[in-house]
Structures are given as C-alpha cells and as structure tokens.
Amino acid sequence: MSNMKIKNICCIGAGYVGGPTMAVIALKCPHINVTVVDMNKEKIKKWNGDLEHLPVYEPGLKEIIAQVRNKNLFFSDKIDESIQKSEMIFMAVNTPTKVEGKGAGMAADLSFVESCAKNIALVSKKDKIVIEKSTLPVRTAERIKAVLKKYNNECHFEILSNPEFLAEGSAIEDLFKSDRVLIGGDKTKSGQEAVKALVNIYLNWIPLDKIITTNVWSSELSKLASNAMLAQRISSINSLSAICEKTGADTIEVAKAVGMDHRIGSYFLSPSPGFGGSCFQKDILNLVYLCEHYGLSEVAEFWLQVIKINNYQRMRIVDKVEELFKNGRKGRITILGWSFKKNTNDSRESSSIYISNSLLNMGYKLNIYDPKVADERILDDLNSLNKLNNNPAYNLTSDNLQIYNSLNESIKGTDVILILTEWDEFKNFESDAKIIDTRNIYNGNKYFKL
Ligand code: NAD
Ligand code: UGA
C-alpha cells in the first residue's frame, strides 16, 4: 500500500452520488482517470448520451460532464475491467431499507455493497483502497473486510469510510464547497497511508482544515447522525406548524424568531409537507434499528418519533384538502410538484407520492404537474405504493389522474391547488381555485399555508 500512486479511480454506482461526485473529482483532478461503472447498462448509455437527458438532473452537472467526459471521466458497464486497473475504488451503490428477512422495514439492505465487495475481491490482482461512499450502518467495514478476505487472500484491501454529504438540487455547489470532507480509516500504518492518499485527492480543491480524519466507526456513524439531526429539525418545525395553526401563530415568523438565536441557527427550519428523498427516512430507520440492536430502546424511540411526525404532517395536509370538500363531493385537485425538493428530477420518498395516494384512495381526481419528473416515473411511484396495499384501492384511469407538462394546463378548471414542491415557477400564477401552499412560496392569496 505504501507510496501507492493514484492514477485510476473506479466508482461502482452511477447514481445520484456516483455521477456528480466523480464528475467533480475528474474536473478537479485532471491527472487522474475516473471511470464510473454500473450494472444498469441503460443508465450508462444515458450518461454517455445527450447532455439534456442525463440520468441525474443537477444544476451545473451537464456543463462539467461536457468538459470532462471521455477526457478523464468515463462511464462504462465493464465493471471488472475498471476494478482491475484502478488503485482506488469508491462504492456508491444504493443501500435501501430491507424489505424482507431480519430487520425488514428498518435495517439497511447491504446486499448491493456486499456484492460490490465480492466483485472487487474476485477480479483484483493487486492491492487496492476500497472506499465506502454509500451511507452504511456503523461497523459495516467489518463485514466488507470479511467478504474481501473470503474471496481474495492474495491482495491487501484497505477500507476507508468517506460518506457523502451533498444534497440533491445543490450537489455540484456542495461538492465544490463542502462544509467538511470526512475520512475514516484504520490507525494502522497502511490505514493511515490510504487516508493520506484520499486526503491528497480532495486537497486538489478542498482546504486542509475542512478535511477531517477519524476512525472508521466515527465516520460511518457521523453520516447517520448528520442526517438524523437534519431530519429532526424538519420534524421539529413541522410539529410546531400544527400548534401554530391552532393558536394563530405564524410558523414562518416563529421559525425566524427561533432561528435568529445563533445557537439554533436559521437553516433547516422551513415547514413542509414532510421531508422526502431517498435518505432521511431510511437512515433514521437504520439508526433506530442499530439502537435497538444495542439495547438502547429509549434512544430508538426518540429517533423514531422524527419519522412519526413526518407521516403525521403528510396526513395533516390530506386533512386540509378534505376540509375544502365538506359536502362530500370528490372534486379535482392539482398537485404542483412531484420531486421531493426543487432542482432535482428525483422523486424517491417524495411527500407528493404519499399525499396523492391518500387522495386517490379517498376518491379525489388529480392533475399533476412537475417541471422535471418524467410522467412514467409519476405513474410508477403511484402504482408501486398502491400495490403495497394487499388490496389496491384504486385503478389509475384518465378520469382520476391527468399528468400535465405545463403549469397553466394543469390548473385549468381545478377546485384546489396543492403546492407540494418549492419550484420557483410555482411562485406566480393566476387561478380562482383554493390554494394550499405547503412551501410558503406562492405570492398570491392562499386558502391555507403552513
Ligand atoms: P442510486 O440508486 O441513484 O444509485 C446507485 C447505483 O448503484 C444504481 O445505478 C445501481 O444500479 C448501482 N449498483 C447497485 N449495485 C451494484 C453493483 N453491485 N454493481 C454495479 N452497480 C451497482 O443511489 P444514490 O442516491 O446515488 O445513493 C447511493 C448511496 O449514497 C446510498 O447509500 C445513499 O444513502 C448515499 N447518499 C445519497 C445521497 C443522495 O443525495 N442521493 C447523498 C448522500 C449519500
Ligand atoms: C439530505 C442532506 O441534506 C444531505 O446532507 C445528505 O447528504 C443527503 O440527505 C443524503 O444523505 O442523501 P437531500 O435529501 O438531497 O439531502 O435534500 P435536503 O435538502 O436535505 O432535503 C430533504 C427533504 O427535507 C426535502 O424533502 C426538503 O424539502 C425537506 N426540507 C428541507 C424541509 O422540509 N425543510 C427544510 O427546512 C429543509
């Protein structure tokens, strides 16, 4: 491992993390060849295709891809070949909540990470640094080490934890100016050499004082802890929005007053229809599972409450819509926004899915408009959630669901407009319908705002 020169990096997983992070490494390290691989051949084809239709939409991303693609950034489905020639391998694969087996519904599914480790072990012919970029439960490095050893006794693999803190919609900005880069490694000589090799990569654009090095377990746990604390703030302000509504206090005014205390801070205090995204819920469930595993039931209960408030907030919005149809008529509702936040085409765990599903279950008819999420994705999100019920409650037809490609078309003749994502284009539009603004962005009269 000593004096290992990094000339080739392989990243397994060409998703929302692998694509943008490797694009930035390639841009900032022109002396290194970066190859992003994925078992999903279609996705790789898209990464190599038209810049307007990359698999991930992020402001600033296509410009970087245009600059470095096929110079020192490559997208490939030749996974084994890329592993073999690289000195450093990032694992940026998905770690969803387990759906079956021990820990189903709570623990992280590590099968994708383990199959990566197996793949690395089976094809490697020289020593490598293997980096956990995915978000993983604390002590996963132990399992990865065991898998690597089981399938390859010849090479030395040094495992580092380097969790990713980017947020979707601002990924490129976040990667350029990270608050911190966290690298966990073993305290052994080879462990510290591997840490140094990764520090040197980041030093190409991140100042040294923003690069923190810790042991592996602190690094793994810090990622779960960061997401849990961010999500906890959202559930805190959302829970307060309910008491604001009862008392006549204004949530935005309360958030401002509270956030001006520098010990609290003003970020992450925007009320919303509940947080979405692929990570907050899964990472908190994972943390809860770990707490239970270690017998910390009170701690588990504390973090579980963050999720419970999130579900409560979603249903509170559904109740608000119901309030408008007291006569029992099931009218037409326009849902503005399907992505879980603005500036992304990602709709994973978006509150729009859960709220729309409940409204369809109750017999309402929906118009849906989002500037970036594909129609098929919206249909798939609804069908998947509907199918989870043993007895699907509705069939999607052109009568109960219309997906539009223009805001103005989507609000024509509708009874209620429900703003669920804070896209800038939802700030100004004209309509006689009753407007429920869960993001506090609409500039006109609202029937209800959080
Ligand atoms: P993603 O689903 O967008 O991408 C993961 C990719 O890995 C998929 O394209 C999948 O095909 C590929 N893959 C899975 N197993 C593979 C294998 N064995 N070989 C080759 N390819 C394989 O996921 P993501 O959103 O990029 O998240 C990845 C990880 O990063 C997760 O652990 C997540 O918690 C974490 N994370 C995500 C974000 C985010 O904003 N999305 C931010 C920080 C951390
Ligand atoms: C979040 C974290 O912010 C990242 O640091 C982390 O790397 C990432 O998860 C991850 O591990 O995947 P992301 O989910 O992309 O990033 O986006 P956020 O900006 O955190 O928003 C998450 C959800 O919270 C969105 O639905 C957003 O609308 C909601 N939110 C955010 C609020 O409801 N109120 C707020 O004040 C802020």
pLDDT of residue 438: 98
Q: How far apart are CA 4 and CA 88, in angstroms?
A: 10
Contact 43, 115 (CB under 8 A): no
Instruction: Please tell me if the CB atom of residue 275 comes closer than 6 angstroms to any atom of ligand 2.
Output: yes
Residue 233 neighbours by CB distance under 10 Å = 18
Q: How far apart are CA 173 and CA 338, in angstroms?
A: 23
pLDDT of residue 60: 98
Could you give the dihedral angle defined by the CA atoms of residues 335, 336, 341 and 346, in that order, rounded to the nearest 10 degrees?
Answer: 70
Please provide the DSSP assignment of 356-388 as one string. HHHHHHTT-EEEEE-SSS-HHHHHHHHHHHHHH
Using CB atoms within 10 Å of the CB of residue 268, give its burial: 0 to 12 exposed, 13 to 18 middle, 19+ buried: middle
Q: How far apart are CA 32 and CA 124, in angstroms?
A: 20
Choose among 394, 411, 309: nearest CA to 351. 309
Cα–ligand 2 centroid distance for 250 (angstroms): 23
pLDDT in tens, 398-417: 999 999 999 999 999 999 99
pLDDT of residue 2: 47
Cα–ligand 1 centroid distance for 16 (angstroms): 7
Could you tell which of 12, 16, 98, 123 is best to mutate to test the pocket of ligand 1, judged by most ligand atoms within 8 Å of the CB?
16
pLDDT of residue 326: 82
| Ligand 2 atom closest to 273 (CA) | 33
Contact 93, 113 (CB under 8 A): yes
Q: How far apart are CA 141 and CA 143, in angstroms?
A: 5
Residues with C-beta less than 6 Å from any ligand 1 atom? 12-18, 38-40, 43, 79, 92-95, 112, 115-116, 134-135, 164, 166, 168, 278-279
Could you tell which of 236, 341, 437 is best to mutate to test the pocket of ligand 2, judged by most ligand atoms within 8 Å of the CB?
341
Nearest bound ligand to the CA of residue 17? 1
pLDDT of residue 1: 57
The low-confidence residues of the chain, meaning pLDDT below 50, are 2
pLDDT of residue 3: 61
Contact 120, 128 (CB under 8 A): yes
Cα–ligand 2 centroid distance for 186 (angstroms): 30
Cα–ligand 1 centroid distance for 352 (angstroms): 22
pLDDT of residue 388: 81
Query: What residues are paired with 263 via a beta bridge?
Result: none
Residue 75 neighbours by CB distance under 10 Å = 27
Choose among 227, 244, 374: nearest CA to 287. 227
Known catalytic residue at 116: no
Cα–ligand 1 centroid distance for 92 (angstroms): 5
Instruction: Please tell me if the CB atom of residue 184 comes closer than 6 angstroms to any atom of ligand 2.
Output: no
Residue 131 neighbours by CB distance under 10 Å = 23
pLDDT of residue 390: 66
Query: What is the CA 84 to chain-centroid distance, rounded?
Result: 30
Instruction: Please tell me if the CB atom of residue 168 comes closer than 6 angstroms to any atom of ligand 2.
Output: yes
pTM of the complete model: 0.96
Contact 432, 417 (CB under 8 A): no
Mean pLDDT computed over every residue of the chain:
96
